[in-house]
Amino acid sequence: MWNLNELLAGLDIDLARLRDVFLYDPHAPLIFSSGLFVWLFAAFAVVYLLLQRRMTARLLFVTAFSYYFYYKSSGMYFFLLAVVTVSDFCIARLMERASVQWQRKAWVVLSLTVNLGLLAYFKYTNFLGEVWASLTGGTFTALDIFLPVGISFFTFQSLSYTIDVYRKEIRPLTNLLDYAFYVSFFPQLVAGPIVRARDFLPQIRRPLNVSPEMFGRGVFLIFSGLFKKAVISDYISVNFVERIFDNPTLYSGVENLLGVYGYALQIYCDFSGYSDMAIGLALLLGFHFNINFRSPYKSASVTEFWRRWHISLSSWLRDYLYISLGGNRKGKLRQYVNLIITMFLGGLWHGASWNFVLWGMLHGVALALHKAWMQFMGRPKGWQSRGIRRVLGVVVTFHFVCFCWIFFRHASFTDAMSMIQQIGTAFHPELLPQLLAGYPAVFALMALGFVLHFLPDSWEEAGVKTVTRLPLLGKALLLIALIYVVIQMKSADIQPFIYFQF
């Protein structure tokens, strides 16, 4: 017979382990490509469907799940999400009631202060302290400040709401639950895309409707996003890219160059993979997000690159920063300066480090130079090159972007310059056959990733239609097959999404 004490003891162990699974673990944040999320989302979907005709209960349930999702990513810092939500909801309401313009301006300044103040404290306190110490000749001891996951995303998202209310482009919400739902909606909460209030708020109270086309596109995007993240990005990162970037001087120039190409593919597959899964999950829940990536390495200029890369951020910077600085309304020279300032702050948004500042400045100067060249040549807005000229433009733009990625990826200028020096002075192309033979799976996946990236857009639409036509069982088997491949290729440790750190 079973010993009751032993049975209870065994049960306690199981309960303890189960409890640990659902509690916050800083070493294992909840991400879309984890097994835990798959099971949580399956349970979530059942309840979500049961509540499809009960609007308020469904919104409340999704909001609660979103807060738990954020808790699993950042622990008790989920209260910051509530602070931003409540403050901006109230500020927008008070802004609407203001009778004179200076009062409206004061309220929007308060919103900027709250959101950017939180961002500045958690993200830039140590950086600014070190800068001040270097300027004054003093010393600064870095504070132990935890950076909450996704704080850059949800503060910018909430700011878009208060600024749009200030500009009278939208009316403020009267229901706090609706606004909490908008700010915390879990598919895009921690790594974007940054969803505009004007695009998302009208969808909240619509009856739940997921058409076959939405469901098919959602499954396709989840499939492609998971493949890009968990198969291509994670594998080439762990097995090649990290080794090169961690010790660039130990490798030849050709290895460093291929490491840079690998990182260019890694960061694209990682971030666009997350965006694809976020957009796909939203579609399965009945919501539409705007596209966030459009094959950016197909770009023939740096201007085109920023119309294709992280579109939600680049358009946010354009609409709320570049235009606020004056845009192109105050002369050509001021326009170039505004572009550089915008990208300087865009670089700083990515991280409190001089390497991010330099990355942003390089892109800002390149944007200004391209804009000046287009104006000098009399090219109309939106003009695109054709034929061999476009091919050369794509090659030059891709290598400029890769050059900038070197500073983006490295934590110090010394390591970045060491990598550039290795490429320029110790290239050793004769090592290429040996290198390809030593990492066959890595370079096969890199080749596959770039081939898929440069395929015509029509091929992706054909893929969407093919998945849409599959029966439900076929869609399920497709995802199961991919999950099996992921399990076979995944490393022992969870590989968080790169943009979680921003």
CA dihedral 484, 489, 490, 492 (to 10 degrees): 120
Closest CA to 278 of 411, 363, 185: 185
Closest CA to 297 of 429, 178, 391: 391
CB burial string 328-348: b at 16+ within 10 A, e below: beeeeeebbbbbbbbbbbbbb
30 φ/ψ sector (left φ>0, alpha ψ -120 to 50, else beta): beta
How far apart, in whole angstroms, are the C-alpha atoms of residue 82 and residue 189? 13
- With tokens 């054909």, the residue in question is 462
CA dihedral 162, 164, 169, 170 (to 10 degrees): -40
How far apart, in whole angstroms, are the C-alpha atoms of residue 86 and residue 497? 28
CB 69 within 8 A of CB 85: no
How far apart, in whole angstroms, are the C-alpha atoms of residue 69 and residue 48? 15
Active site residues: 350
How far apart, in whole angstroms, are the C-alpha atoms of residue 226 and residue 483? 9
27 three-state secondary structure = coil
CA dihedral 83, 85, 91, 96 (to 10 degrees): -170
**Cα separations in angstroms, 348 against 130, 132, 156, 341, 443:** 15, 17, 14, 11, 33
How far apart, in whole angstroms, are the C-alpha atoms of residue 289 and residue 221? 12
Angle 351-164-110 (CA atoms, 0-180°, nearest 5)?
A: 65
First to last CA, the chain: 56
Instruction: Find the DSSP H helices in 23-145.
Output: 35-50, 55-74, 78-97, 101-136
Give phi and psi for 35, each to the nearest 5.
-65, -35
Q: Report long-range pairs for 50-58 (Cβ below 8 Å, ≥24 apart).
A: 52/208, 53/208, 55/205, 56/177, 58/208
